[in-house]
Amino acid sequence: MRIIPIEKLKITLPEAARMAKSGPVILTHKGKPLAAINDLSDCDWESISLANNPRFRAIIEESRRSYRKEGGIAIEDLRKELGLTSKANGKRVRGKKRGASASKASK
């Protein structure tokens, strides 16, 4: 992480963006953080948009608070409840095959 006071800023924005490839560049004003420049080249637009959306972040934080307070459901229990096979066996087929109950009924 590099910290650069904007009062002494002598680099261009493209230079700061290149610097961010090796870690965040924090711009300060009078010693306090003002802005951060991060390398987002491995991110997609949706992730960037959601990560910077205060409403979405509030939903996630509320979910985390609820989980810490009340607990949650194990992934394997959720898979069973939704009729999904275990990820461990490599199959991710949803529910029963169509017609399976009909073929059993005709036997």
Clarify whether residues 53 and 77 are in a common domain.
yes
The answer, yes or no, to whether residue 1 has pLDDT greater than 90, is: yes
Q: Is residue 57 part of a domain?
A: yes
Please tell me the total count of domains within the chain.
2
Structural domain of 71: 45-84
CATH code of residue 32 = 3.40.1620
Query: What's the pLDDT tens digit per position in 86-100?
Result: 766 555 444 444 344
Q: What is the 3-state secondary structure (H, E, C) of 28-68?
A: EECCEEEEEECCCCCCCHHHHHHHCCHHHHHHHHHHHHHHH
User: Residue 103: inside a domain, yes or no?
Assistant: no
Whether residue 30 is contained in a domain is answered as yes
On whether both 33 and 53 belong to a single domain, the answer is no
**Domain assignment present for 49:** yes
| Residue 100 counted as domain residue | no
User: Hey, is 4 helix, strand or coil?
Assistant: strand
| 93 assigned to some structural domain | no
**Tell me: the pLDDT tens digits for 43-89?**
999 999 999 999 999 999 999 999 999 998 888 889 999 999 876 65
Residues 55, 78 within the same domain: yes
